[in-house]
Amino acid sequence: MAEKKKRRRTDPSDSDQQHLPFKNSLKSDEIILQTLKDLCSSSSSDGAAGTLTLSDLALASTCREVADLSLSSVQSAIETLILRLTHSILSGQGFSFSVPSRSSANQLYVPELDRIVLKDKSSVRPFANVSTVRKSAVTTRILQLIHQLCIKNIHVTKRDLFYTDVKLFQDQTQSDSVLDDVSCMLGCTRSSLNVIASEKGVVVGRLIFSDNGDMIDCTKMGMGGKAIPPNIDRVGDMQSDALFILLVEKDAAYIRLAEDRFYNRFPCIIVTAKGQPDVATRLFLRKMKTELKLPVLALVDSDPYGLKILSVYGCGSKNMSYDSANLTTPDIKWLGIRPSDLDKYNIPEQCRLPMTEQDIKTGKDLLEEDFVKKNPGWVEELNLMVKTKQKAEIQALSSFGFQYLSEVYLPLKLQQQDWL
């Protein structure tokens, strides 16, 4: 009977070894933790050296950057702009807006800063022109609404802003785009306009911070974690004993790691924007990186869009290049899933997907980007992806078991210092 019981106790572990490849390659958690401590120490030392700004560089092109402004400053800037337009109308010259161009041709990647910035080219948006009259009207209406927010000292969402004049705006993408134009025109960050996006990102793990005066402990927020506040100004007093920040592309992987309490085994903060990064999550990630001096490791899908999402966090988006100084978190490490991982970790063929023609084109376009060329490892991985024409989602690891991601894959990656 005792022997039978003994066999029953060992059988499950034998089964685990069969279904969890590479588990035997894992070293003790203490050894992996030491690797993470070394990474954390290195990141803290790099942060202490100071941060370069545009003004420190002698660039051939003049670049435009915005800054956080107080509500009174934003209100004053709007009033000054409207007075200038009024004088123009009264003098018989009509009126037009000088709007900074946010097109790709007016953007510049700065290697020293590892982010995209906006150059100083502008375009004229006259009211007395059939092609721009409607957009000029939308711009004027947005300025009026922002002025009201400044006077009342309240916040609204982008959706609220759209619904104030649906017939004029027609589609939220149009009011959102003009909102970015207004930020550029006034020289302020979008958050300075008191217009926020709906809550999207979430955070869980070894982080305590104050949210509008309330202390939040992210280890006690359950599996769902804490929604990232849309207004970063109300976040403060960040404290953490984490060794790194784990940035996760998708909600499914985030839930798996949160439920497994991965942050207790390897002290970390886990954050996700559930796909395409929103402004609030990008601001929150930068604030954590700046205040806590922690390295950031990213877990994204092995496809061109996973790398694009990673690049938005690290180098900035082209739509909001004017605010890249406040929204980017340079030196994010690409932890996985990478194209080389598909063979390295024996991802089954049935879990790999063929890349579409659009996927391949996106991959090739990324290879032409300066922020990709700067990192030879990224170039090598992208070339492999385009060559094999295969992609895979993080969930492909579930073919070895639902907890393979947290029990084997990530610990092995951390142990091997396998990041780019």
- Which entry of 163, 263, 305, 409 is annotated as an active-site residue? 163
The binding site comprises: 249, 301
List of residues 6+ apart from 302 with CB closer than 8 A: 336, 337, 338, 339, 341, 342, 385, 391, 392, 393
Contacts of range 106-111, beta carbons closer than 8 Å, 24 or more positions apart: 107/318, 107/321, 108/59, 108/61, 108/63, 109/315, 109/369, 109/370, 109/371, 110/54, 110/57, 110/59, 110/63, 111/370, 111/374
Residues 102/181, Cβ–Cβ less than 8 Å: yes
Q: What is the spatial distance between Cα 370 and Cα 108, in angstroms, rounded to a whole number? A: 9
The binding site for Mg(2+) comprises: 249, 301
Residues 43/368, Cβ–Cβ less than 8 Å: no
Q: What is the spatial distance between Cα 272 and Cα 285, in angstroms, rounded to a whole number? A: 10
Decide if 163 is catalytic: yes
User: Structure tokens of 94?
Assistant: 């009509």
User: Structure tokens of 27?
Assistant: 């070293």
Cβ neighbours around 49 below 10 Å, total: 7
Could you give phi then psi for residue 106, rounded to 5 degrees?
-105, 20
Q: Which amino acid is at 149?
A: L
- Please list the active-site residues: 163
